[in-house]
Amino acid sequence: MLSSISHENINFDPNEQDIESIVLNFVSNSLKQNWIKSNSSLTIKKLTDGLSNILFAVYSNENNGVVVKIYGKNSDLIVDHQAEIRYMIYLAQFHMSPSILLTFNNGFIYEYLSGSPISNDDEKKS
């Protein structure tokens, strides 16, 4: 399953001054999908809920989008990233996880799913 996902041999430096433009260009050039018409039609937003990773949402005017996950420094000491990718691929088959679209050396891109995180109160209710 993992071999069917494209891989780009690139590393992102989250401390790069122009990281948002770099990520935007990478998404535009790497994901040749219908919703990407040009960089000017894409919006990028840094997501703030990541604990150790850097997350960017990239979406078009039509509200289709992807999330770019750049692994945090030394996060591989606490997370098996290859296992994470395998689990997401498996769960996506059952529509329980977004689909991974592309991997790169220090992260991956997956489908953006609209929604909100489950809170502790939500968990207690179920």
Q: Which domain holds residue 26?
A: 2-125
| Tally of domains in the chain | 1
**Each residue's pLDDT tens digit, 73-95:** 888 889 999 999 999 999 999 99
| CATH number, domain with residue 115 | 3.30.200.20
Question: What is the 3-class SS of 44-80, one letter each residue?
Answer: EEEECCCCCCEEEEEEECCCCEEEEEECCCCHHHCCC
Q: Tell me the whole-structure pTM to 2 decimals.
A: 0.84
3-51 residue pLDDT tens: 688 999 999 998 889 999 999 989 988 876 655 655 557 889 999 876 7
